[in-house]
């Protein structure tokens, strides 16, 4: 069912592997009165990823434009995949969700790290409650070795910090239904934008638009916007409409 859904959206699932006798990873998503989400993960086959998947990843990285990683597979596997990508000259983007402390040596493996508020606090110890504290957290992440740090602030927008620039992208004004998969939409879109060599500020704005559209719909896969929708939202903001 999961593979059929992905194929319906045009996703190439050729390299998706299955593990007999193990459930697919699932997430039980809880919403509070403010429409914020809390996720209980049961990772199933995700946690069975091992050397076999790394070998497949190594093949897939030939000629790839970017590698996007997160923390729903064993961390050791993700870090090894990051090393493979770096050796092949493929940029590595890391979405540290769900949050967990990382070894200090891990940060240098990431060209881009993009936590949300709570994830940034777990990683840095900074209580992220606004733009200034988010920038403080981003600078700490970069000091630990990450190339670029991006911190997502929900309705307060996104901040970014890199060698040559820092900034804040305000949130887009949308009618939120639930916040499930906003981070996923952002992660996918920032990977696309940076793979297309968009300047950092424009890439962050593109990703923020994708994340904003995701909160206007219920669910996860079904909430993901297409490129045309993202571009329309960007154009509407630019025109002031």
Residues known to be catalytic: 184
What span, in angstroms and rounded, lies between the C-alpha atoms of 234 and 241? 10
Q: In the chain, what is the straight-line distance between the N-terminal and C-terminal CA atoms, in Å?
A: 39
Instruction: Report CA-CA distances (Å) from 7 to 20, 43, 47.
Output: 21, 22, 23
Place of tokens 């504290």: 133
Instruction: Name the DSSP letter for residue 24.
Output: P
Q: Which helix (H) or strand (E) holds 29?
A: strand 26-31
Is 171 in contact with 135 (CB distance < 8 Å)?
A: no
Radius of gyration of the chain (CA): 17
Residue 44 zone, left/alpha/beta (φ > 0; ψ -120 to 50; rest): left
12 Cβ neighbours under 8 A, 6+ residues apart: none
Instruction: Report CA-CA distances (Å) from 63 to 55, 89, 125.
Output: 15, 9, 37
């Amino acid at each position: 069912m999961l593979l059929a859904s992905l194929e319906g959206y045009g996703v190439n699932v050729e390299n998706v592997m299955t593990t007999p006798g193990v459930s697919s990873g699932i997430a039980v998503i809880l919403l509070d009165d403010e429409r914020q989400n809390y996720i209980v993960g049961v990772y199933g086959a995700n946690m069975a990823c091992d050397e076999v998947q790394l070998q497949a990843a190594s093949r897939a990285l030939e000629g790839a434009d970017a590698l996007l990683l997160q923390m729903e597979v064993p961390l050791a596997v993700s870090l090894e995949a990051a090393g493979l990508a770096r050796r092949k000259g493929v940029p590595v983007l890391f979405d540290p969700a769900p949050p967990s402390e990382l070894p200090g040596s891990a940060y240098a493996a990431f060209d881009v790290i993009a936590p949300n508020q709570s994830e940034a606090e777990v990683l840095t110890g900074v209580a992220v409650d606004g733009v200034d504290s988010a920038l403080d957290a981003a600078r700490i992440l970069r000091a630990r070795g990450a190339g670029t740090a991006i911190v997502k602030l929900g309705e307060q927008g996104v901040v970014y910090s890199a060698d040559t620039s820092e900034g804040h992208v305000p949130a887009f004004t949308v009618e939120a239904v639930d916040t499930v998969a906003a981070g996923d939409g952002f992660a996918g879109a920032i990977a696309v934008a940076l793979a297309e060599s968009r300047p950092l500020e424009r890439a962050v704005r593109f990703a923020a638009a994708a994340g904003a559209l995701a909160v206007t719909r219920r669910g996860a896969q079904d909430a993901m916007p297409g490129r045309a929708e993202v571009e329309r939202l960007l154009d509407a903001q630019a025109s002031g409409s």
